[in-house]
Structure 1
Amino acid sequence: MCVEDIQQAVERILQHKPLASIQWFVLSQSWLGKSYSEMAQASGYRNTYIKEVGSELWQDLSVALGKRVTKKNLHLALNKYLQDKIGDRENQSQHQFGEKSSLEISPNFFSASKIEFPSGPVPLGSPFYINRPPLEELVFNEILHPGCLIRIKAPRNMGKSSLLNRMIAYAREQGYQIVYLDLQEADQDVFACLDKFLRWFCVNVSRQLNLVPSLDDFWDTEMGSKVSCKIYFEAYLLQYIDHSPVVLALNEIHRVFEHPNIAQDFLPMLRCWHEQAKQDQIWQKLRMVVVHTTEIYIPLNLNQSPFNVGITITLPPFTLNQVQNLALCYGLHWAADSEGAKRLVPLQTMVGGHPYLVSLALYHLCQEEMTLEVLLETASTPVGIYSQHLRELLNLLQKEPELMSAMRQVIATDEKVELDAIAAYKLESMGLVQLNGNQAHTMCELYRLYFKQQLGKHSGC
């Protein structure tokens, strides 16, 4: 049995209990003969933590199989299980039909056809979620702190929602109540003015806490929308819920950046609530998480911005080790050793370790639709696997001439380019560039090649 077979085999043994990504990592690396020290070095986790994960996994397998399973006898135990299952099926077939059935359990449990196409957040429990230590540990620890404010920042498709969903699941395990608001779901007219936005905000929070909205009892036009909103939280929402903390998760909050009339009041309000928790016990119930794609480009006083307090989590691209681990999750056993890592280097270079772009490549490779070499050769062309993704980005640029012009400046040179702040941050939000201040350069080779071909046609590049 090869490394790509073992996940489904183990999940069958554990009665289809999905493995967490760290369990899958320890399992696959143990199958390949890696030591706990080597796993710790490759993953960034502590050696003791890797051992604990392994110990719990071997214990679960031992209970399920009724035989002692250890890291050392893993091959023997799983191969024996597989042989027994095949034997049981043969005996059953002979008993039913008097002869050996042509239908047997395949020794290869792994099936590429069952792997879902990469799209949206990685589901909880999926083996295709790759931890990026120490980010998960930081988020899980911080959400336990009364009155905390956590900021998760990264461009599109970098894994923000996947991390947020795991933090929410962890908070639920602690007995916390969850309020999740995705600002992309708000109608455009919600952003017409601050009062309308805050009333929409309060109604949504009320309903998710199973409380009847009661804005008219607390809203006072003389005091203003911000004060009314604060009183509504303080005297109603936080007062009438039980003693368990409330996690307020605001996803896609960068949409507020596009409305300065709201951002300049709403964002300082969040900071005020965070600071209120330092001296007021009722506000300690509230733990806030804001998720966005780029830095704020609305001028705010440093003492009012919520983005220079609390803890900031910036999601980095995948390292080569993480790309290698994900390749193993996709059943690409050739990626297991140092030679496999070398083969993945050109992919890492082409997409810059971008999680979605890496996943898309590995998905197509595990389907055996093409070789890695062909995938890379055609990556930036209309027949490549990224063609739809690239066309979508081009369409977004074409809708905003200022961004098109800014992107032309970026691809016209190999040096970093000074851009207008708003254009720079919007390009960063789309994942097209990396920023150092307002200086930009292309996120990865794939984007440089494609946009040089597309935008260069009309710019003389």
Structure 2
Amino acid sequence: MLSEEEAFTFVETILKPNYLNDLQGLVFRQCWLGKTYQMIAEENGYDADYIKVAGSRLWQLLSDTLGVKITKSNIQTVLRQSFNKTPSLSISPLGQLPFSDGTVPRNSPLYIERPPIEQRAYAEIIKPAALLRIKAPSKMGKTSLMLRILAYAKENNYYTVRLNLQQANNTLFTHLDPFLRWICANIAHQLNKEPRLDDYWDEELGSKVSCNAYLQGYILESLDNPLVLAIDEVNHLFEYGDIAQEFLPLLRFWHEEGNNIEIWQNLRLIIVHSTEIYIPLKLQQSPFNVGIPIQLPEFNLEQVQALAEFHSLSNIIDNEGSEPLKNLMKMVGGHPYLIRLALYHLYQDKITMKQLLEEAPTPTGIYDHHLQNHLITLQNNPELAAAFAKVIKAKKPMQLETIIAYKLASMGLVKLQGKEAFPSCQLYCLYFSVVI
């Protein structure tokens, strides 16, 4: 009997080097369980016709791959027959995917959803003048989620543009004018349009008015479908207070113009940042108190178990219950990157969980490079190091200066409970109590 998970992994294997996208994966799994297109649409916030079209394309893709006509009604029969004809086929997805130190590739089966976050984001981004705010510490999956939202927007025939503020030269943050021109030029470039900045820039009107005129008159007016603009690493702006105090209110203005001018409803914004804002902004000017907030949580035990199964570790888990994974989570919490790194090495290096956990906070452990990077940051920022040392030594949550608390939380070293901070996991306590 072929289970849903085995069937999905089998399909991913026969399609390599390509994989099902998120929507195709959802349709496949739900149809395998016997659900109708209408049920899938209602339960996941999609239009029923859209799901039907996605299903038709999926069955055609599988038909072309297997050389057998596949439909929604015969999918189980055909796949079971195909699977039984290839008993020696390895269906371990990890063998096809190298470990990624950053973003999980969009079509990777190793991406673990955190319901209802993904479906809520997909439903919101297609609304007029939408604004999504994705916040979480470093390496929690913010960019991975953002890419999936952009992919969903593309599937709906939206235009998409992605900007990463860390890619901008530092000189651009000295004055607002070159920074806004960089934003506009990048948008035009990704839409395959000539920049034509000088046609809309007017020194007498100022940079912000010129930028608004450019987006409305040149970009939005020329597009036949909505534009999703995703801005990653927005927290990079917080180090440049003057620019942030001008640009962040501008984002809110673009969002609210959808209430005044119809064409601005076609601009959908995604703002991605790793910490709370710590520069002064008037309440009515901040983009961080409007739109839809999405704060990514850590993985729970069920999600860690699902990821372990993708790493072909289900036999170990079944034999020992869930204790090995619980012990891992005692060490690193449910942090996606730290969990994924551990499971990768358990599979790849064939080490035991006991050995992995014993070596975790040491120079011979799998987290040494990750811990060293944090240590270098702390050594370059003595105030952060001193504050974090106090947090580690404290036996209960303690209050820190606001900016320092936010920066430590952005790194993922502490969690915040109101105005108080405490270590985010045992790994950091064990390691940094010795080195700082």
Normalising by structure 1, what TM-score? 0.81
State which of 324, 328, 331 in structure 1 corresponds to 2:305: 324
State which of 417, 428, 431 in structure 2 corresponds to 1:447: 428
Match of 1:270 in 2: 251
Q: Deviations over 1:71-112 (max 9, x none)?
A: 9996x97675455346xxxxxxxxxxxxxxxxxxx3544375
Match of 2:217 in 1: 235
Match of 2:229 in 1: 248
Tell me how many residue pairs correspond in the alignment: 421
State which of 191, 202, 214 in structure 1 corresponds to 2:196: 214
Hey, what's the Cα distance between the residues in 1 that align with 2:96 and 2:230?
32
State which of 412, 416, 435 in structure 2 corresponds to 1:435: 416
Provide the secondary structure at the position in 2 that maps to 1:248: strand
Match of 1:103 in 2: none
Moved more, 293-302 or 20-29: 20-29
State which of 331, 339, 348 in structure 2 corresponds to 1:350: 331
Q: CA deviation at 1:313?
A: 0.5
Higher Cα Rg, which structure = 1
The one-letter amino acid of 1:221's match is: E
State which of 164, 168, 174 in structure 1 corresponds to 2:146: 164
Relative distance call for 1:299 and 1:420 in structure 2 (3 A) is same
The one-letter amino acid of 1:110's match is: S
Note if contact 2:135-2:273 (Cα within 8 Å) is conserved in structure 1. Answer: yes
Q: CA deviation at 1:171?
A: 0.6
Hey, what's the Cα distance between the residues in 1 that align with 2:30 and 2:368?
34
Match of 2:398 in 1: 417
Hey, what's the Cα distance between the residues in 2 that align with 1:6 and 1:160?
29
Provide the secondary structure at the position in 1 that maps to 2:134: strand
Q: CA deviation at 1:412?
A: 1.1
State which of 341, 352, 359 in structure 2 corresponds to 1:378: 359
Q: Deviations over 1:16-48 (max 9, x none)?
A: 6524569879999999xxx899xxxxxxx9599
Identity of aligned residues (%): 46
Hey, what's the Cα distance between the residues in 1 that align with 2:317 and 2:62?
26
State which of 341, 345, 348 in structure 2 corresponds to 1:367: 348
Provide the secondary structure at the position in 2 that maps to 1:303: helix
Note if contact 1:180-1:251 (Cα within 8 Å) is conserved in structure 2. Answer: yes
Q: CA deviation at 1:170?
A: 0.6
Moved more, 118-127 or 137-146: 118-127
State which of 279, 294, 306 in structure 1 corresponds to 2:275: 294
Hey, what's the Cα distance between the residues in 1 that align with 2:285 and 2:419?
22
Note if contact 1:20-1:127 (Cα within 8 Å) is conserved in structure 2. Answer: no
Relative distance call for 1:277 and 1:2 in structure 2 (3 A) is closer
Q: How does 1:137-156 map to 2 (within 5 A)?
A: 137-156=119-138
Relative distance call for 1:371 and 1:307 in structure 2 (3 A) is same
Note if contact 2:60-2:70 (Cα within 8 Å) is conserved in structure 1. Answer: no
Note if contact 1:28-1:328 (Cα within 8 Å) is conserved in structure 2. Answer: no
The one-letter amino acid of 1:425's match is: Y
Note if contact 2:9-2:93 (Cα within 8 Å) is conserved in structure 1. Answer: no
Match of 1:173 in 2: 155
Provide the secondary structure at the position in 1 that maps to 2:265: helix
Hey, what's the Cα distance between the residues in 2 that align with 1:10 and 1:223?
57
Hey, what's the Cα distance between the residues in 1 that align with 2:383 and 2:108?
40
Normalising by structure 2, what TM-score? 0.86
Provide the secondary structure at the position in 1 that maps to 2:390: helix
Relative distance call for 1:302 and 1:62 in structure 2 (3 A) is closer
Match of 2:10 in 1: 9
Hey, what's the Cα distance between the residues in 2 that align with 1:343 and 1:2?
27
Hey, what's the Cα distance between the residues in 2 that align with 1:214 and 1:410?
52
Please state if 1:404 is matched with 2:385. Answer: yes
Hey, what's the Cα distance between the residues in 2 that align with 1:22 and 1:377?
40
Match of 1:188 in 2: 170
Q: Deviations over 1:235-279 (max 9, x none)?
A: 22222x222111111011111111011011110111111111112
Q: CA deviation at 1:438?
A: 3.2
Provide the secondary structure at the position in 2 that maps to 1:250: strand
Relative distance call for 1:253 and 1:217 in structure 2 (3 A) is same
Q: Deviations over 1:167-205 (max 9, x none)?
A: 111111111111111111000100011122112212222
Note if contact 2:104-2:110 (Cα within 8 Å) is conserved in structure 1. Answer: yes
Hey, what's the Cα distance between the residues in 2 that align with 1:173 and 1:264?
35
State which of 293, 309, 314 in structure 2 corresponds to 1:312: 293
Hey, what's the Cα distance between the residues in 2 that align with 1:358 and 1:268?
37
Please state if 1:393 is matched with 2:394. Answer: no
The one-letter amino acid of 1:366's match is: Y
Hey, what's the Cα distance between the residues in 2 that align with 1:21 and 1:218?
39
Q: CA deviation at 1:234?
A: 2.1
Match of 1:119 in 2: 101
Hey, what's the Cα distance between the residues in 2 that align with 1:159 and 1:354?
9
Relative distance call for 1:27 and 1:212 in structure 2 (3 A) is closer
Match of 1:131 in 2: 113
Note if contact 2:317-2:324 (Cα within 8 Å) is conserved in structure 1. Answer: no
Match of 1:458 in 2: none
The one-letter amino acid of 2:262's match is: Q
Provide the secondary structure at the position in 1 that maps to 2:284: coil
Unaligned 5+ runs, structure 2: 36-41
Q: CA deviation at 1:410?
A: 0.9
Q: How does 1:12-161 map to 2 (within 5 A)?
A: 12-13=13-14, 18-20=19-21, 64=66, 81-85=82-86, 106=88, 108-110=90-92, 113-161=95-143
Hey, what's the Cα distance between the residues in 2 that align with 1:271 and 1:20?
32
